[in-house]
Amino acid sequence: MKRRRLYAWISTLIGIVFALALVELTAIVWLYLEDGRYTSAQELFERAQNTYVRDLTKGSDCRYIDTLFPHPYLAFVHNGNPPCGIVNINNIGLFNDNFPAVKPADRYVVLLTGGSVASQLGQNWARPAPHYLEEELNKHYVSPNGKPFLVLNGGDGAWKEPQQLILFSMYATSVDAVVTLDGYNEYYDFRPNTDHRLEAPASNFLQVNPFAADENFGDAAVGWVIGRLASILANNAILGHSHAAYMVIRGIERVAKSKDRFSSNKRTTLQGFFALPEDLYRDPDKLFALQLSLYQKYTRGIDVIARDNNIKSAYFLQPVPAWGKTLTEEEKKVVGTLAYGEIYRRIVAGMLALRERGLAVYDLGDLLKDEKGTFYADDIHFVRTTDGESPGYRLMAARMGQLLGETWNLQRKP
């Protein structure tokens, strides 16, 4: 009798193992057909988030949203609160050095603002990780007041105009110069059939401001819970190597993301603040013209405030994988679709037109045109090592430093 039970238990166990193996094999075949090659589960999990998000949550079961904090004017920043806060968060919820209340006398302060690429260029890891632009300026140039350059990190993930304008407006009396590096996040609101204005906040705002979700707060809560579950599963030592687990977690994440935007029958809603009439957003040319006018307006606003406060300024349009570089096979696997290239270059051309108004606007699109190596780590960010070093950001800092030196008439060091 005991032997029969043992045989039955062994048979059941073998059946379970066989079933799991079959599920895993099916997932491998499915993903092979999707990718056109075998891809390890670890690489798939790595790809599931861009490097900016992944760096801030790596080694924990925290989600990116857990690192965020609501801000009354900037929509969302980060927090340094346990258990998911970030160590090197400063006094305004951004990375590294605190923003001064008054302009320091012992530094030449440059505010670098934009989205996640600007944040990584400013270096969102704590020192002694390299702070690319600050190091470039201090190595090669003498500041206008003769003091060392201090580059304040004023960029954050998913930021777009007018967040850059708002940040600069708040701290214009505390800095000597302002530099913007943006374009890619703004592009998303130029896509055909975008039904909202450029200023509509990213879904991060909804997730850190539950009242904005209105009667759909339950959806926001569900999205948070299942998103946290997906993060825990992805970081599991066993499931993190399973293709089947990856497919399950990918499905969970998609459900979580579907909770990021809400509908409401009420008269006053967040979406309503930024909604566009259908006859406008259904017309690609009218939509493009409107969004470009808004993008130009906010950049011009930065310039007006800078001039009024005797602050130097410069504006850079960031490079993208869809234009200006022959991608390596490694890059082609991670950069995603390149279909946005034409629209993005139209945006760049429109922003460069601001030169006619005297703005120092520069295109970094050809930054990597002669480079043969792998620079892009995902759809927009550059490869960085575990200590924060990056050939791509070094090149970007060097080009920007050169252009800033010419624009601001900086004395070059021997």
Residue 411 has pLDDT above 60, yes or no: yes
Same domain, 14 and 98: no
Write down the pTM of the prediction: 0.84
Same domain, 101 and 163: yes
DSSP code per residue over 181-245: EESHHHHGGGSTT--B-TTPPPHHHHHH-GGGGGGGHHHHHHHHHHHHHHHHHHT-TTGGG-HHH
Nearest to 75 by CA among 158, 187, 181: 158
pLDDT tens track for 211-268: 665 555 555 555 555 555 666 666 666 666 777 766 776 666 665 555 545 556 778 8
Structural domain includes residue 64: no
How confident is the model at residue 270, as a pLDDT? 81
Mean pLDDT of 316-328: 98
Q: Given strand 177-182, what is the order of strands in its sheet? A: 149-155, 108-114, 177-182, 312-317, 361-363
What residues have CB less than 8 Å from 3, skipping those under 6 apart? Answer: none
Mean pLDDT of 277-297: 97
Mean pLDDT of 41-48: 58
Report the share of the chain in percent with pLDDT over 70. 80
Same domain, 160 and 287: yes
Structural domain includes residue 344: yes
- Mean pLDDT for all residues in the chain: 87
> What span, in angstroms and rounded, lies between the C-alpha atoms of 47 and 233?
15
CATH number where 343 lies: 3.40.50.1110
> What span, in angstroms and rounded, lies between the C-alpha atoms of 248 and 333?
21
Parent domain of 34? 2-38
Structural domain includes residue 229: no
Same domain, 113 and 11: no
What residues have CB less than 8 Å from 345, skipping those under 6 apart? Answer: 323, 365
Among 8-12, 140-144, 279-283, 365-369, where is mean pLDDT lowest?
8-12
Which tokens go with 70? 């609501």
Same domain, 31 and 174: no
Same domain, 17 and 133: no
Structural domain includes residue 298: yes
Same domain, 19 and 95: no
Structural domain includes residue 125: yes
How confident is the model at residue 258, as a pLDDT? 53
How confident is the model at residue 8, as a pLDDT? 73
Structural domain includes residue 242: no
| Better pLDDT: 240 or 180 | 180
Same domain, 292 and 393: yes
How confident is the model at residue 170, as a pLDDT? 98
Nearest to 193 by CA among 299, 308, 291, 284: 284
How confident is the model at residue 88, as a pLDDT? 94
Grade residue 114 by pLDDT with cuts at 50, 70 and 90: very high
Nearest to 142 by CA among 407, 404, 413, 403: 413
How confident is the model at residue 205, as a pLDDT? 87
Same domain, 18 and 136: no
Nearest to 164 by CA among 295, 307, 360: 295
3-class DSSP state for residue 139? helix
DSSP code per residue over 24-73: HHHHHHHHHHHHSS---HHHHHHHTS-HHHHHHHTTSS--GGGGEEEETT
Give the count of domains, the chain.
2
How confident is the model at residue 239, as a pLDDT? 63
Given a contact cutoff of 8 angstroms between Cβ atoms, the answer to whether 175 and 103 are in contact is yes
Among 2-6, 56-60, 72-76, 311-315, where is mean pLDDT lowest?
2-6
Given a contact cutoff of 8 angstroms between Cβ atoms, the answer to whether 407 and 360 are in contact is yes
Grade residue 391 by pLDDT with cuts at 50, 70 and 90: very high
Same domain, 17 and 103: no
Structural domain includes residue 223: no
Given a contact cutoff of 8 angstroms between Cβ atoms, the answer to whether 410 and 108 are in contact is no
Same domain, 28 and 152: no
Structural domain includes residue 161: yes
Same domain, 7 and 111: no
**Helix or strand holding residue 78 (H, E):** strand 75-78
Among 19-23, 32-36, 126-130, 400-404, where is mean pLDDT lowest?
32-36
Mean pLDDT of 22-44: 68
How confident is the model at residue 386, as a pLDDT? 83
Report which listed range, 121-130, 247-256, 292-301, 380-389, is most confident: 292-301
